[in-house]
Amino acid sequence: MPGISRSVSIPAPARPSLPYALAAACHPGPTLAVTALVTALVAGSGRSPAACAGVALAVLAGQLSVGWCNDAVDAARDAATGQRGKPIPAGLVSVRTVGVAAGVALLLCVPLSLLSGPVAAAVHLGAVALAWAYNLGVKATVLSWAPYTVAFGLVPVFVAAGLPGGVRPAWWAVSAAALLGLGAHLANVLPDIDADLSTGVRSLPQRLGARRVRLLAPVPLLLAVALLVVGPAGDPGIPGWTALAAATTLTAASWTLGARRPRVPFVTAIAVAAVGVVLLLVRGAGV
């Protein structure tokens, strides 16, 4: 599955070690968040604790490979834009070491994915391949949105494929997950659009410009929340309508305050995404 490329800082020890540097370079926040989300969805589908543990290890390996690949590929650009808080530009670890770690994690991801069966493994490895393609060049093109959108949409497919009997996920779960991926891509790059342009990155958000992305980023996230509320059969009840109202309010706040407070669109987009993720966990993959 795809990872969000924004790194999360973790406190550095007095004398940074190689394990610390590799932990920081793997984008620990997004890596753990995606692993927890997919594992929780699989657990909610009724699979055994052992099967859930296998999924957790497979997704963790895939996310580690994606995070390390991202930092290795972006090392020169990070140094050029002064991101000294990241491990490679800070001199805590070499590009080669991080690249080797990414390759090892990717190799481990294959047998771990096969624990869920060949179909589920193919789906998961396909999503990981999309994330690697994003890191290796697609993110600098007008198609930068596609790996995020397709890979996130594959999450419910992966959950369903691991179940016996050829179960198919609900259309609303796949669509909502894909919209969450698109919104995550837009929100993730929003704070760095100017720095990206200075180093020649010309993905879709950079071509649109910061003002348009501020307006656009919450839209797919809000649509994902709406789908997760009205898509499943039955009355969504007060919790569902409350979640949709909260997401709508956050989106309106982003549009109203975004021009004067640049951090607001990013923060509200993350908040709407969080509402969507909670609904996805509650609703499941529709299997």
pLDDT tens digits for 168-178?
A: 899 999 999 99
Tens digits of residue pLDDT in 239-283:
899 999 999 999 998 888 876 776 788 788 888 988 988 888 888
Cβ 258 vs Cβ 219: under 8 Å: no
In Å, what is the CA distance from 188 to each residue of 170, 254, 266?
27, 15, 8
Give the model's confidence band at 3: pLDDT under 50 very low, under 70 low, under 90 confident, else very high. Answer: low
- What is the pLDDT, as a whole number, of residue 174? 94
Close Cβ partners of 280 (under 8 Å, ≥ 6 residues apart): 37, 41, 173, 176, 177, 180, 228
The per-residue pLDDT of the chain, averaged, comes to: 87
- What is the pLDDT, as a whole number, of residue 5? 53
- Rounded CA-CA distance 127/183 in Å is 17
Secondary structure (3-state) at 45:
coil
- What is the pLDDT, as a whole number, of residue 7? 47
- Rounded CA-CA distance 216/195 in Å is 20
Instruction: Give the mean pLDDT of 94-122.
Output: 96
Q: Which token pair is 69?
A: 């690949």
First to last CA, the chain: 19
- Rounded CA-CA distance 19/5 in Å is 20
- Rounded CA-CA distance 33/11 in Å is 18
| Domains contained in the chain, CATH given | 1-11+18-144 (1.10.357), 170-287 (1.20.120.1780)
What are the strands, taking DSSP E only, across the chain? none
Q: What percent of the chain has pLDDT over 70?
A: 93
Q: What is the Rg, in whole angstroms, of the alpha carbon atoms belonging to the chain? A: 19
